[in-house]
Amino acid sequence: MRVVAADTCFLFHLHQVGRLSVLGQLDGFCFVIPGEVHEEFVRPKSKALVAEALKEGWITLNSIEGVDELLLRKELIALKIGKGEAACLTLAVSRGWSVVSDDEERRFIREAESRIGPERIISSPDVVLMAVRRGLIPVEEADRFPAVWEANNYAVDFASFSEMLG
């Protein structure tokens, strides 16, 4: 089982394309949010969204515990990484998990790459592509996602998932 610490942006990106539920269908993967990420859902609609995901078992909630993890989280926050991001990376480093990041070329991804290596970092497009390959999302539907994300301030560097299936 591959455990992935997921942040707020990742959950929103899947929600924006109406496919948050796919997280519960990906055999071999378990998506976890730390309490810090859970707290970032403050609007009633967002709260309802994450509550549904937890209730349906698409994601689970976990907590940073113990001095070693607390010190690591403190160190990451001191590097000016957000609390939610720092919590995800702490869990990934400490427990051998993977982490999701949708913010390429920026501070967090550099820190994550140096601490857990690029192979343990995945993106929203990775998850969608995997779901397409497994027949959980039709590729025609997935090809509409980049435009939706673009409209929500998230630009991807490819035109369609079809071309990625090659």
Partner 1 sequence: MPLTNEILARRLKEARIAVGVSQAQAAEVLGISRPAISQIETGDRKVGSLELDKLASLYGRLSGDLLEEEFDPDESLLAAFRAVGAQSLEWNVQQAVIDRCRKIAKATRELEEALDIGPPLGRGGVGHFGTAPTENTWQAIQQGENAAILERRRLGLGQAPVPDLVDLLEAQGILTATLNLPEGVDGLTLILPDGPFVAINRQEPTLPRRRFSLAHEYGHVILDARVRASVTHRDFQDDVREKRANRFAAAFLLPEEGVVDLLTSVGKPPRSNTSSVMEGGHVYSMRNTNPASDTEIQPHDVVHLSHYFGASHLAVLYRLKSLAYLSEQNLQKLMSARESGVLKKLSSAFFDEENEAAPSASTPDRFHRRFLALLLEALRRDEISLGHATDYAVLVGFDSKDFHGVVQTSGVAPMKGRIRNPHLGE
Which residues sit at the interface with partner 1, rule CB under 8 A?
2, 7-9, 13, 26, 28-29, 34-36, 39-40, 42-43, 63-67, 69-71, 73-74, 77-78, 80-87, 90, 102-108, 118-119, 121-127, 129-130, 133-134, 149, 153-158, 164
Rounded Cα gap, residues 91 and 77, in angstroms? 14
Residue 52 CB, nearest distance to partner 1 (Å)?
A: 19
Written as six digits, the tokens of 65 are 């515990």
> Is-contact 112 121, C-beta < 8 A?
yes
Closest CA to 149 of 128, 165, 166, 132: 128
CB of 2 or CB of 47, closer to partner 1? 2
Rounded Cα gap, residues 162 and 100, in angstroms? 22
Residue 86 CB, nearest distance to partner 1 (Å)?
A: 8
Rounded Cα gap, residues 19 and 121, in angstroms? 20
CB of 55 or CB of 157, closer to partner 1? 157
Residue 93 CB, nearest distance to partner 1 (Å)?
A: 14
